[in-house]
Every structure is written in C-alpha cells, then in structure tokens.
Structure 1
Amino acid sequence: MDKIGFIKKDMYNLEDATSRRAYGFYGDVVVFDTTFNTNRYDLTFAPMLGVNNHGQTIVLACAFLSKETESFVWMFEEFKKAMPGGEPKTIITDQDAAMAIAISIAFPTTFHRLCIWHITSKFSVKLPPDAYKEYWREFQKAIWDTDNKDEFDAKWNTVVTKAGLTDHPWLSSMFDLRESWVPAYARQFFAAGMSSSQRAEGSHGFFKQYISRRNSLMDFIIRFERALSHQREKELVADHVDAFEVAQCLLPMPMNKQMATLYTRTMFQKFEQELIQSTACFLELKTEDACKVVFNRWKKTAKSGLVSDANGNEIKDCADPGLLIKRSTMSRLASDVVEDALMSEEGCELLSETLKSLQVKLKLLKDGPSNNEVGGSSSQTQYMKDPKRVRCKGRSKGVTGAKKKVMKRGIRHCRECGHIRHDRRQCPALNTL
C-alpha cells in the first residue's frame, strides 16, 4: 500500500493513495472531529472525513494529537501537503476556539461551518428551564424554517424579546456567529448535504468495532487498516450495483430517466424525492457554476477522472483495479450455484453446509494474525516507536504526603470507629455495648 506516515512531536498521521484520490474527487467538504480516543497513550484520534458519491462516509486521513491546541495547525498543514487540489471548500467542526484559529491559519479560503447539532443541543442547558420549555419551538422555526438572512434575524429577535433574553450572553454569542451555523446564512456554501459533524460521531461507533484503548500504536495501524478495508468494501459494492443496474423512476419524466442513468442510486433517490416535493433541484448551490461541480461529484462516474499530486504525478489507487470485475464474475457464479441448489432439498442442504464452512475459513483469512502476533513482523516497527502517554485533562495528581506513606505501609483502619491499631473484632466501641 502506498503509505505515508508523518511523525513529529508525538503526532502521527496516516493516509494512503486511495484516500488521496478520494480527496481529489470528494475533498470539497471535510468533517473534522477530535472526540475519540483509541489507544493506550491517551492520544486524541482526529479523523478527517468526507462523503462519496453514494452518500457514504469515507476516511480521508487521520492523526494522533498529543496537544490539541498546538497540533491543529501542524495537522492541517500536513494534510494540505499530502492531498491534491488544495484546501477544501467547506470544513465542518464543533465549536472549539483553538480549532477555529488553526483553520483560519491553515485554510484561509475555506468556509468554516460549525456543527448545528452541537449548538442546538445546548439550548436546553444554556437557557432558563421555563424559557426553554416555552420558546424552544419558536427558536427551532427561526433556525430551520427561514429562507433568507433577514427573515432569520427578524424571527430570532422576536423570540428573544418575547422570552426576555435580549441580554442573554450565550444567545448573543450564538447570534454573532450565525453566519457559521444558521442554514439561512450558510446556504450559499456547498456542504454535501451535511450541517453537523454527526458523520464523525457515527464513524467513531464504526471504528470501535475494530480498535480499543488497549491498542498499541502498531495494533491500531493494523486494525485501522482492517476497518478501512471493510468500509471500502461497502463502497465497491455500491459501485458494482450502479455499474450494472439503473434505479427505477417513480416519475415518468424524460429528465428523471436521464438522471437515473447519471446519478448513483442513493443520490438519484434524493433527487427524485426533492423533485416530487416540487423543489427545483435537490442540490444546495444555486449558481450555474456550482451546480456543475455538485452534479459531477454525485455521478456514477465521479471517480473516473485523473488525480495528480503537486508535482503533476498521477495518484494511482492502491486498490486492485480488477476488483469490480472479480466481484461481478463471482456474483454470477454464486447466483448460478444457488439456482442449481434450489432444484432439490439435498442441493440446498449441501450448499448451506458448504457456505457455512467457507464463511468460517474466510473469516479466519480476513482476521489475519492473532492479537499476540500483531505488530511482531511488520516492517513499520523498524522505525515507528510508541509515543509517550499523554496526561488527560482533569486527571487527578494522585495521593501524596502522609496519606501516601500510610497507604505504602498498608496500615488498616477499623471499619467501626475509623481508628488504627485494631480491627472491628477488637473495637472498644463494640465492647462497651
């Protein structure tokens, strides 16, 4: 695999050719989140995610960060060096001051969109209980049911005044940041159908199936690659379906039939749903130039273009280019075998037993070496050392002084009166009863 690893100041970054090509096609919108720890060193796992032409979450790159505040700029700069095509058009994050500063430095032309889910979920905490209960639905309408900036401002100011919260500091700060999270303000910036970083949070649940806090760095690398393989397998399945099937149209319109042949199945279904609702177009951008860009990234042929690095060299996919052909051949063979087996009960039993046995063997083949063997023979262990463990925020400093000395000597206290030099059976308090 065309692997590139960055090691600097206890920060580790991993990405490969497949991810770099994916960024060339789908790097217009990136989701960045740092709320997931997956290793024994308490380093922060920071994935950079995108969405492909099937609407699936894809991993573009990831890094381990030892100090978030000092590491964000480094990570974003390394990301730019590795990825073709320059800065993303939009990056979606949660509301983090250090992250916002780093994005303004490393991605000065990128629109920084704040996760709307993180902001709206704080209303129940930040607002007085009575005000939240009475006016939350009006806040929701102002946020989601407005078509332009002026309409949002008017509705927001009305509900804030009615609730008596005109001087509320948190609401005032959110209003000042409205261009970064309110749909009416962010509508002109393409976001691939995303308004929050929940894709990142969803991916955390996915990766937890493969990795845990007990992992060493090499454990993580091997298991992470296994998780990526599983994720990319789903993308190949979707590619295969689109290559041999055309989505059924609900509306018998010439334009609809044409879109069914161009869009991936998932994106066509969204397009048709919007069309049924009499929306002019399901895409978020409305300028002619923007529609061309969005149209291409949702097409079945979105990955057919050439992607080059900064030196003009083609970035070739590290995946087997004949994998789709193999999948198609095996699918046809499997279908023929099933049809033959259905001719008799004996055939069904034979096929069922054979498939179960084959499934066990394939699982063993897929899982590879046992946990004890992980990282033992990899060439990457030649140069990749384990990082120092990072002290977590809010971690206790441990016991010191007299208390530590007592614990070291193992002095016990009576569970009845709390004094030392005797236990509960010899406690004077009990003997006096």
Structure 2
Amino acid sequence: MLGVNNHGQTIVLACAFLSKETIESFVWMFEEFKKAMLGGEPKTIITDQDAAMAIAISIAFPTTFHRLCIWHITSKFSVKLPNSAYKEYWREFQKAIWDTDNKDEFDAKWNIVVTKAGLTDHPWLSSMFDLRESWVPAYARQFFVVGMSSSQRAEGSHGFFKQYISRRNSLMDFIIRFERALSHQREKELVADHVDAFEVAQCILPMPMNKQMATLYTRTMFQKFEQELIQSTACFLELKTEDASKVVFNVSERKNWETRVAEVVYVKDFHHASCSCKRFEFVGIICKHILALFRRDQIEYMPNKYILKRWKKTAKSGLVSDANGNEIKDSADPGLLIKRSTMSRLASDVVEDALMSEEGCELLSETLKSLQVKLKLLKDGPSNNEVGGSSSQTQYMKDPKRVRCKGRSKGVTGAKEKAMKRGIRHCRKCGHIGHDRRQCPRNLNTP
C-alpha cells in the first residue's frame, strides 16, 4: 500500500505476502494495516477493478471511498468499443470525462455521445456508466486523494523496486534487497526535509501571499501553489448573483482555445470561498479561481483554513499516539534530521569563526583531522584482541570477509569480449582482426 508524503513523494505505507488473492486474504491484510496505522481508516483507496479486493475494502474500510483507477477503464475503450465508433467518438468521450466539473454536465455529455455513436445498448458502456461514481472525476472530486485519479504511482513504484528485486531472489535475499530499496526511498525524503529546513523557495511573483506560502509549504507543494497563483492572473471574474449571505462569481479562463467557466461562491458570514472545480477538496491546494477572487478583494495573506498541515514543512512535527492515547516515540535520541540540522549549524558557525584568521584555519584543520581519526576508530570498533574479552563495555563485531562461492562458475568469455578487453580493434569493412579499413584486403578489388 502506497501513500504520498508532504513533499509529494511516493512512500510505502505497508506491504504483505499473500499466497492467494482471495477476499479473506485481503481482509486480513487490511485489518493488519489498521493495527499498524493508528490514524483511522484512509479517506480514499484507488485500486483496479479487482472484485475480491473491492469486497474486502467494503468489509475492512466501510467509511473509505473506494475509487477505481481511471487509466485502467479508459484504456479499455479501444478494446470494448467497435473500431469505427472508437476512432470517431473517442475525443468526445474524453471531453465528457475530463472537461466536466459537475455530475449533471457529465451525464448530459455522456448520453449525447453514446446516442450519436449508436451505443445506447452497449453492455460494457452501460456498466461503466453505472459505476461512474467510482471513477469519473466529476463524481469523485469532493474526496481528498492528493490529486490522483489512477494507480500510476503504484506502477511507478513497481518499476522502482524492480531495480532491486526479482522473482529469482530467495525470501531472505528479497527482504534484504527490499529494505535496501526502502532505505534509498527514505534517504530521498530526508534530503528533501534537509533542503526545506535550510532553503526558502524563490518566488516568481513578488506578492505577500506568495512569500507567506514559500515559508510554510514544502518546495514541491509551493511550486504547485505558485503555478495556480500565476494562472489566476489570466482569470476574469463576472458577478453572477449577490444577496445578504453570499456572492456568486463566474470565473472564466482561456484554455486550449476554449473558454471554461467555473463558479465561485463566497459566504460572507463565514468568509468561506468554494469553487465548482473542487481542486481544494481534491488536491488540498487552493485553486486559481478562488485566488483570482482573493486578488480582486486584495487579500494579501492566505487564511489558515486553506493551508493544510500535510503540505507544510512542519507536517511531521507533533505527537503520534497509540490506541490508549500514549505518545509513540521512535527512539530516545532525536531524529536524524534534527541531529544533522544541529551539527550543520554548529559546523557552519565554527568555519565562519576560523576564517577570520590564519591561526584559526590551522587550528580547525588540525582539530578536524584528529576528530576524523577518532571517528574512524569509533566506526571500526575495538581491536581484535578485545573481542571476546572480559571487558564490561559493549563489544562490536565486524562483518566477515567476503569469499568466492565454491559452487560458482567462472563463466565463459566470448572471443568478442576477449578482444574488447585486450583492446583489439576490428576492421569496419570486413569485421576481421589484424587490420583497419584502410589496409582491408577488400580494397584490392576497388579502383
């Protein structure tokens, strides 16, 4: 099971070995997942059209919205529909699926295309229309799912792990390789945390709101927000209705030579704005249409209700409690990021002080060399004569030396590989060894 962290990176939440893909196996896996993840049931799960998994999700996660992968469904249009109908009406199906913001608009466009194509009685299209609440964006945008509509992250994660593991691995070898891949994935997350801790993203638009979000959001999420803010400058607002409680605007934008209109409702008493595109509910980042309204009303700073903690740099700060309300701690020592940040600041201050004089630079250089030797001894552990001794101190044992497996064959090297190792070049004309194309015997027959 995969998720998304505050940097927008794909992370592994849980994994399991299943001997059979049955309802009982999936229910067991989901129940174990709930025991490990104490934050409650997930808001949304995206899967393919697996019947057993769908039943298991309804049993284990009754309040979770189960969304079907839109890529798996749309890729079947070319197979399920007649060839002539697919070529002529696929573009219109795409517009009905992706370019509609509300349910009624989708239903109307879908029925028009199906009628024009003469596919009103098509069994597969009818079944997909009955399942539209599970995969059509117009029906699923009100559920928060980090902007995902397909299982594309899962497919990308499969490609990532295939670099480390294969079906030929034994169970123990698989676990070691899988842990190595997870370590690589977590290292990327630590690097992103470190960058956000010491660097502030550069703003393109010199606006107070832009600078505010640059200090709060992680670098990746700030780039998405700034993109919405830039696009808001090309939106045009038109007053639709107004009364004592709310104001309704039509926000139009030009996209792909077409004008699209979104409806923004602003409730006066609660100072709350909502948009028909549902981007804030779907992605967690406020949309360009609401930002256009904020710019019109000269709101300089983003209200806190529109800033989700999960996209902040401080998303991981706070207490994690178990089922009994007790705080869960990873270890007694501070986290790796905090240690690195503290030592980096200290080292930076020491270097700046040493650069003020030549004596300071020499002193720091000698101290660092001495410290490097001590750290190497600490890393390597005690000497061999101390291992197994009677000392009460903690003993360390090094990894054994690697040796060549006795049953491992040397392998057969081909003539071409031997020639490449010796640096022997082949003639480009005849392919033989011992001469080049200028001295090739075939040149004798050439005038």
Any idea what SS the aligned residue of 2:438 has? helix
Tell me the SS of whatever aligns to 1:248: coil
Task: Decide whether aligned partners of structure 1 residues 282 and 189 sit closer, same or farther in structure 2, where only a CA change above 3 A counts.
Answer: farther
Distance 1:421 1:192, change over 3 A: closer
1:159 to partner: Cα distance = 0.5
Contact 2:217 2:311 (C-alpha < 8 Å) held by counterparts: yes
Greater CA drift, 354-363 or 264-273: 354-363
Aligned-partner SS, 1:92: strand
In the TM superposition, residue 83 of structure 1 has moved relative to its aligned partner by 1.2
Aligned to 2:4: 51
Is the 8 Å Cα contact of residues 190 and 337 (structure 2) preserved in structure 1? yes
Q: Return the structure number with greater relative CO, CA threshold 8 A, min gap 6.
A: 1
- CA separation of 1:400 and 1:227: change in aligned 2, threshold 3 A: closer
Over 3 Å counting, the alpha-carbon distance change for 1:325 and 1:309 in structure 2 is closer
1:113 shift after superposition: 0.7
Q: Is the 8 A contact 1:216 1:386 kept in 2?
A: no
The 1:210–1:122 alpha-carbon spacing in structure 2 relative to 1, beyond 3 Å, is same
Q: Give the Å deviation of 1:391.
A: 34
**C-alpha displacement of 1:165:** 0.7
Deviations 1:215-234 (A, max 9, x none): 22222222111111110000
C-alpha distance in structure 2 between counterparts of 1:209 and 1:372, whole Å: 41
User: In 2, are the aligned partners of 1:49 and 1:200 still within 8 Å (CA)?
Assistant: yes
| 1:49-85 residue CA offsets vs partner (Å, 9 max, x unmatched) | 1000000001111001111113111111111122112
Flag the 1:227–1:77 CA change in 2: closer, same or farther, 3 A: same
Q: Which moved more, 1:93-102 or 1:387-396?
A: 387-396
Q: Identify if the C-alpha distance between structure 1 residues 326 and 410 changes in structure 2 by more than 3 Å, giving closer, same or farther.
A: closer
Kindly indicate whether the alpha-carbon contact (under 8 Å) linking 1:190 and 1:285 is maintained by their aligned counterparts in 2: no
Deviates more, 1:413-422 or 1:203-212: 413-422
Pairwise CA distance, 1:314:
2.2
Relative to structure 1, is the Cα distance of residues 187 and 403 closer, same or farther in structure 2, using a 3 angstrom cutoff? same
Inter-partner Cα distance in structure 2 for 1:281 and 1:134: 33
Distance in 1 (alpha carbons) for counterparts of 2:87 and 2:317? 52
Q: Which protein shows a greater Rg?
A: 2
Q: Is the 8 A contact 1:55 1:267 kept in 2?
A: yes
Aligned counterparts of 2:408 and 2:121: Cα–Cα separation in 1 = 36
**3-state SS, counterpart of residue 317 of structure 2:** coil
- Percentage identity across paired residues of the two chains: 96
Matching residue of 1:63: 16
Matched, 1:251 2:205: yes
1:324 is matched with which residue: 319, 334, 337? 337
Counterpart Cα distance in 2 of 1:311 and 1:257 = 41
The count of residues paired between Structure 1 and Structure 2 equals 385
Summarize the Cα distance change of 1:416–1:265 in structure 2 as closer, same or farther, 3 Å threshold. closer
Note if contact 1:270-1:282 (Cα within 8 Å) is conserved in structure 2.
Answer: no
Contact 1:144–1:183 under 8 Å retained in 2: yes
Q: Is the 8 A contact 1:274 1:282 kept in 2?
A: no
Is the 1:416–1:427 Cα contact (8 Å) retained in structure 2? yes
CA drift at 1:369: 20
Contact 2:6 2:218 in 1 (8 A): yes
Q: Is the 8 A contact 1:274 1:281 kept in 2?
A: no
Worse-matched range after superposition: 320-329 or 336-345 = 336-345
Measured at CA, do residues 167 and 281 of structure 1 come closer, stay the same or move farther in structure 2, by a change above 3 Å? same
- Structure 2 stretches of 5 or more lacking a match? 249-307
The Cα of 1:317 is off from its aligned counterpart by 3.1
Counterparts in 2 of 1:344 and 1:272: CA distance versus 1, 3 Å: same
Q: Tell me, yes or no, if the aligned pair for 1:54 and 1:298 is still in contact at 8 Å.
A: yes
TM-score, structure 1 length as denominator? 0.63
Change (3 A) 1:347 1:136: farther
Q: 1:402 to 1:284 in 2, by over 3 A?
A: farther
Structure 1 contact 218–375 (Cα < 8 Å) conserved: no
What are the Cα deviations for residues 329-372 of structure 1, in whole angstroms up to 9, with x where unaligned?
78789999999999999999999999999999999999999999
Distance 2:170 2:238 in 1: 43
Distance 1:202 1:411, change over 3 A: closer
Q: Deviation per CA, 1:354-411: give whole Å up to 9, x if none.
A: 9999999999999999999999999999999999999999999999999999999999
Tell me how far 1:323 sits from its aligned partner: 2.0
d(CA) in 2 for partners of 1:99, 1:284: 47
Q: Which moved more, 1:362-371 or 1:244-253?
A: 362-371
Deviation at 1:124, TM superposition (A): 1.0
Aligned-pair distance for 1:274? 1.3
- In structure 2, the CA distance between the partners of 1:106 and 1:273, relative to structure 1 (3 Å rule), is same
SS in 1 for 2:379: helix
1:179, 1:185 within 8 Å by CA — same for their partners in 2? yes
